[in-house]
């Protein structure tokens, strides 16, 4: 059965089936663009998928997939940007914040910066987006050429050691003696640990309870002391393992406890070192969540190919996708953590190899990630921008803008999109158990410029409601299944 509806009729149909009342949104608004959008998609728990991984679930038990982009709050991101992200069918943003900008002097917080952050979260709520706050740093902080990003000067101790930047390789700054010393002091010095804990607690108290706030990415691309020659892969791997099992693990547990003193609702994500991109599995330990009820902890690796980051076109024969997938799957499964890929994407998706890389990354993440945020949302001619100068998906980035199941009434099995045909397979739960309800598939305008057709096999749908994509917004296909036997395999095809 297929029924076409406007956005208003779509909401009324949903309310009638679920036995609730609902406000009728503006039919011209993008799919999900309402204050209730972020609240209805806030994950309150997890379940185990058919392949054994841990996945996010909404209050009704439906499996969630959150997709979106990194944005920058530093006077760049506008309300129009968030409106456009939602209009393209996305539901998540990752917001980089800077300790330097928020607390420029010890104990003195910049009210104007905090107000900007509140405005951004307000816009996210307005357009039905969830937000992850990323405590960001690159090469520690401004003392080492990081502009006004990262850890403030007043929390930087480099022992007077040398720092010589490499204009052709910013990442090499991490191996400079001064930067190594700064990280060692941050991890080890009691007063720096206390100041960092105070900062996290203050920000969590400031933002906690905001309806668009999904949670926090606790420390962007963590790094630390390297004992030996950093050009030796064995030395790097050993140093990363020592950091993750010792200093970094201690920092994460301390920051988890600090945030939980003022915020028991949000999700807290831990990152491994960037060596995961080279196929080196994390050695992070398990973490405890002091909140009452089930833990809300997640794993947030980045998905970057080192050679591509250095400016080369991707070589599909290098084994990067396979090595990365093998490296990141064991830890979240062993610790029952959902996976958010906080950053991914090539510097320029227009080249032949990088175009294939984007396609392969999207396909791979369908199998191991509950959420992802591409780096990043901007218009431009290359340089990581997801959009071209015309505001359309940049050439090569098309797969990131494809259809996907935003909410799934069951446990995922597989998902794919090729040549205009979207396929979703999932298994049902017990009759009457959480997970029943609507399965929602985002239909981007670029993928479905004409009328979308929905077919369901494995069970007869109780209702199928299709909101066709508009010229400036994604559509939505909603499928409601009757109660079926547990573990019934359902296949949904949209063409």
- CA 155, distance to chain mean position in Å, is 28
**pLDDT score for 381:** 87
Q: Residue 430: its pLDDT value, please?
A: 61
At residue 435, the pLDDT reads 57
Average pLDDT of the segment spanning 287-291: 98
Contact (Cβ atoms closer than 8 angstroms) between residue 27 and residue 472: no
Are β-strands 438-443 and 404-408 bridged in parallel, bridged antiparallel, or unpaired?
Answer: antiparallel
Residue 450 has what pLDDT?
78
Residue 374 to residue 400: CA distance in whole angstroms: 8
Listed range (16-25, 165-174, 477-486) with the worst mean pLDDT: 16-25
User: Cα(345)–Cα(343) distance, rounded to whole angstroms?
Assistant: 7
- Delimit the domains of the chain by residue range: 1-64+403-495, 66-401
Distance CA 234, CA 158 (A): 26
State pLDDT tens for residues 99-123: 999 999 999 999 999 999 999 999 9
pLDDT digits (tens, 9 = 90+) for 328-351: 999 999 999 999 999 999 999 999
pLDDT of 23 strictly over 70? no
Q: In angstroms, rounded to a whole number, what is the distance separating the alpha carbons of residues 188 and 191?
A: 9
Domain 1-64+403-495 has CATH 2.60.40.730: no
DSSP characters over 89-119:
T--EEEEEE-HHHH-SBTTB--HHHHHHHHH
Confidence bin at 20 (pLDDT 50/70/90): very low
Residues 6+ apart with CB under 8 A from 79: 123, 126
| Predicted confidence band of residue 446 (pLDDT cuts 50, 70, 90) | confident
Whole-number pLDDT of residue 327: 95
CA dihedral 32, 34, 36, 38 (to 10 degrees): 60
Task: Go through 434-460 and write b for each residue having 16 or more CB atoms within 10 A of its CB, e for each that does not.
Answer: bbbbbbbbbbbbbbbeeebebebebbe
What one-character-per-residue DSSP string does 72-95 give?
ETTTT--HHHHHHHHHTT--EEEE
Of 295, 261, 287, the C-alpha closest to 44 is 295
CA triple 266-270-275, angle to 5 deg: 155
The SS3 call for residue 32 is: coil
Assign 477 a pLDDT band (cuts: 50, 70, 90).
very high
Alpha-carbon span 53 to 63, nearest angstrom = 12
Mean of pLDDT values over 265-275: 97
Task: Give the lowest-confidence range in 123-132, 355-364, 424-433.
Answer: 424-433
Higher pLDDT, 27 or 241: 241
Tell me the three state secondary structure of residue 37: helix
Question: Quick one: average pLDDT of 221-234?
Answer: 93
Mean pLDDT of the region 393-413: 94
| End-to-end Cα, the chain, rounded Å | 15
Q: What percent of the chain has pLDDT over 70?
A: 91
Q: Is pLDDT above 80 for 433? A: no
Q: Are the C-beta atoms of residues 33 and 337 closer than 8 Å to each other?
A: no
Q: Are strands 213-217 and 66-72 parallel, antiparallel or unpaired?
A: unpaired
Model confidence over 291-308: pLDDT tens digits?
A: 999 999 999 999 999 999
pLDDT over 90 for what percent of the chain? 75
Say whether pLDDT at 10 is over 60.
no
| Angle between the N-to-C axes of helices 247-260 and 190-207, in degrees from 0 to 180, rounded to the nearest 10 | 40
Identify the residue with better confidence: 433 or 187: 187
Closest to 219 in 3D by CA, of 181, 259, 168, 190: 259
Report whether pLDDT(42) > 90: yes
Provide DSSP, 191-235.
Answer: HHHHHHHHHHHHHHHHHTT-TTEEEEE-SSS------S-TTSHHH
| 325, 356 Cβ separation under 8 angstroms | no
Q: Domain 66-401: what homologous superfamily?
A: Glycosidases (3.20.20.80)
The answer to whether the 1-64+403-495 and 66-401 domains have the same CATH topology is no
Q: Which residue has the tokens 């990363």?
A: 240
Average pLDDT over residues 55-68: 93
């Amino acid at each position: 059965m297929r029924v076409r509806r406007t956005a208003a009729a779509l909401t009324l149909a949903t309310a009638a089936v679920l036995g609730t009342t609902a406000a009728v949104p503006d039919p011209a608004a993008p799919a999900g663009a309402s204050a209730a959008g972020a609240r209805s998609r806030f994950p309150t728990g997890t379940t185990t998928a058919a392949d054994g991984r841990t996945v996010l679930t909404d209050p009704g038990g439906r499996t969630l997939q959150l997709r979106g982009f990194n944005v920058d709050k530093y006077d760049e991101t506008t309300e129009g940007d968030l409106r456009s992200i939602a209009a393209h069918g996305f539901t998540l943003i990752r917001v980089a914040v800077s300790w330097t900008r928020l607390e420029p002097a010890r104990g003195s917080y910049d009210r104007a910066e905090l107000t900007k952050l509140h405005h951004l979260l307000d816009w996210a709520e307005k357009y039905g987006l969830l937000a992850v706050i990323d405590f960001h740093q690159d090469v520690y902080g401004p003392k080492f050429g990081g502009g006004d990003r990262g850890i403030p000067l007043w929390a930087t101790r480099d022992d007077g050691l040398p720092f010589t930047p490499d204009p052709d390789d910013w990442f090499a700054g991490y191996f400079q003696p001064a930067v190594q010393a700064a990280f060692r002091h941050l991890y080890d010095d009691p007063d720096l640990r206390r100041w960092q804990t105070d900062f996290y607690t203050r920000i969590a108290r400031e933002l906690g309870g905001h309806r668009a706030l999904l949670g926090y990415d606790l420390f962007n691309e963590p790094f630390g002391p390297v004992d030996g020659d950093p050009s030796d892969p064995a030395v790097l791997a050993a140093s990363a393992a020592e950091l993750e099992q010792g200093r970094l693990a201690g920092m994460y547990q301390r920051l988890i406890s600090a945030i939980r003193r003022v915020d028991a609702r949000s999700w807290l994500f831990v990152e491994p070192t960037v060596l995961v991109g080279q196929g080196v599995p994390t050695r992070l330990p398990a973490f405890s969540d002091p909140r009452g009820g089930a833990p809300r902890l997640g794993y947030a690796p980045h998905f970057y190919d080192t050679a591509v980051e250095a400016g080369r076109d991707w070589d599909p024969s290098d084994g990067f996708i396979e090595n990365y997938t093998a490296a990141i799957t064991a830890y979240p499964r062993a610790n029952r953590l959902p996976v958010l890929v906080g950053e991914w994407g090539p510097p320029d998706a227009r080249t032949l190899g990088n175009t294939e890389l984007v396609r392969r990354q999207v396909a791979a993440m369908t199998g191991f990630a509950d959420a992802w945020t591409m780096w990043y949302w901007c218009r431009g001619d290359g340089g990581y921008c997801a959009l071209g100068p015309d505001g359309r998906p940049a050439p090569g980035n098309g797969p990131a803008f494809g259809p996907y199941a935003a909410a799934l009434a069951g446990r995922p099995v597989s998902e794919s999109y090729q040549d205009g045909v979207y396929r979703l397979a999932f298994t049902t739960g017990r009759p009457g158990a959480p997970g029943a309800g609507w399965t929602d598939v985002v239909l981007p305008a670029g993928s479905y410029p004409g009328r979308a057709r929905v077919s369901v096999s494995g069970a007869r749908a109780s209702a199928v409601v299709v909101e066709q994509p508009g010229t400036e917004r994604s559509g939505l296909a909603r499928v409601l299944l009757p109660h079926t036997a547990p573990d019934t395999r359902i296949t949904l095809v949209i063409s």
